[in-house]
Chain A
Amino acid sequence: KQEVTQIPAALSVPEGENLVLNCSFTDSAIYNLQWFRQDPGKGLTSLLLIQSSQREQTSGRLNASLDKSSGRSTLYIAASQPGDSATYLCAVRALTGANSKLTFGKGITLSVRP
């Protein structure tokens, strides 16, 4: 059974710092991996999707990498801002297909201090 772990559960950094959020998964046979952002009381917003054949994806100040062999992904946030404060979740999709289910980590709650 796939398990996704995100450690630490919470992180507080000063504004302007570059930071890395980690995600690990136990079964490397994945279809893709997706990073989400969730603000309190809201739904999830997709940040980046990495297909199993890709190594990284970039969007603005965000860069996500994927190392299937080691079961790890990182989300790099450059020059963090208070508006980046939110919970960040990673999820992996089972290899059974494009419509198969995602397995989520519990998320990392990020606080960026002004």
Chain B
Amino acid sequence: DGGITQSPKYLFRKEGQNVTLSCEQNLNHDAMYWYRQDPGQGLRLIYYSQIVNDFQKGDIAEGYSVSREKKESFPLTVTSAQKNPTAFYLCASTNGGSSYNEQFFGPGTRLTVL
């Protein structure tokens, strides 16, 4: 089955630690995205990548970093510089090469800072 996988489903972090969230897709999509979702605030874009080895900051990139070394993978690192990292993190992808460029989402990772 084609789709987007995110791991882990739940992640606990101590203050001062960096953690990396995994996102993998087997849809052969060019573009991938990371969003953060907080109660009452909707989805906010952290980073996105339209092609391998290239990525752009979204609206709330501070305290986060990404890499896009492979088309299938777009890991997100939450650094200790992110002051309030507790949130639900969603990864998504789009096939821009298709005329029907629908965005698909993974199941999400819930990060809690202890």
Asked whether A and B interact, the reply is: yes
Contacts from A to B (Cβ < 8 Å): 31-32, 34, 36, 41-46, 49, 89, 91, 93, 97-99, 101-102, 104-107
Nearest-Cβ distance from residue A83 to partner chain B, whole angstroms: 19
Contacts of A44 in B (CB 8 A): 90, 92, 105
In the complex, B75 has a CB within 8 A of chain A:
no
Q: Which 10 A-B pairs have the closest CB atoms?
A: A98-B96, A99-B96, A99-B31, A106-B42, A43-B105, A44-B105, A98-B101, A104-B43, A99-B50, A43-B107
Which of the residues B33, B40, B97, B101 comes within 8 Å of A101, measured between beta carbons?
A: B33
Which of the residues A42, A89, A99, A105 comes within 8 Å of B94, measured between beta carbons?
A: A99
CA–CA, A96 and B62, complex, Å:
24
Chain B: interface size category:
20 to 34
Nearest-Cβ distance from residue A8 to partner chain B, whole angstroms: 14
Contact with A along B81-114 (1 / 0, CB 8 A): 0000000101010101110111111111010000
